[in-house]
Amino acid sequence: MKHARTSPYHPLQIPIGLIIWSLWFVVIYGGQAVICAVAPPDPRQGVWNWLNGGLGLLTLFTVALLLGLAHYFWRLSRAPRALNERQLFVTKLAAGIHLIAALATLFVGVPLLQIPPCL
């Protein structure tokens, strides 16, 4: 019996939310490090500079994506046709993981509103 890895009921879906979070984390940490080395914004601009802004937009986009996926899996777990125990486990867990990843993204992104970069 084969389980397509792209099926929403395959357990590979479980960690994807956190993998997206990890990638986002690498991008904002690496991004600010590289840009601070190459073209740091003027510290007098405070937090309202293009670097914080760009990373902030990316953060919002990621949060939206993760919330969307969480919603998708949540709906799947309440699908009209009955799921078996294993599919229920996978979809509910995936929904939870995506939700947690969205919260984590939002939470880690908050300092973008508070601290100017590169100092």
The verdict on 77 binding other proteins (CB under 8 A) reads: no
Considering only 4, 44, 80, 82, the residue that binds other proteins (CB under 8 A) is 44
What's the min distance (Å) between Cβ of 80 and other proteins? 22
Which amino acid, residue 101?
A: A
Q: Assess 85 for contact with other proteins (CB under 8 A).
A: yes
- HSE value, Cβ hemisphere, 13 Å, CA-based, for 55: 29
Residues 53-72 that bind other proteins (CB under 8 A): none
The distance of closest approach from Cβ of residue 60 to other proteins in the complex, given in angstroms and rounded to an integer, is 16
Compute the distance between CA of residue 31 and CA of residue 9 in angstroms, rounded to an integer: 34
Report the C-alpha gap between 102 and 69 in whole angstroms. 10
User: Within 10 A of 51 (CB to CB), how many other CB atoms are there?
Assistant: 20
* Cα(115)–Cα(119) distance, integer angstroms: 9
Binding site for other proteins (CB under 8 A): 1, 3, 10-11, 14-15, 18-19, 21-22, 25, 28-29, 32-34, 36-38, 43-44, 52, 85-86, 89-90, 92-93, 96-97, 100, 103-104, 107-108, 110-112, 114-119
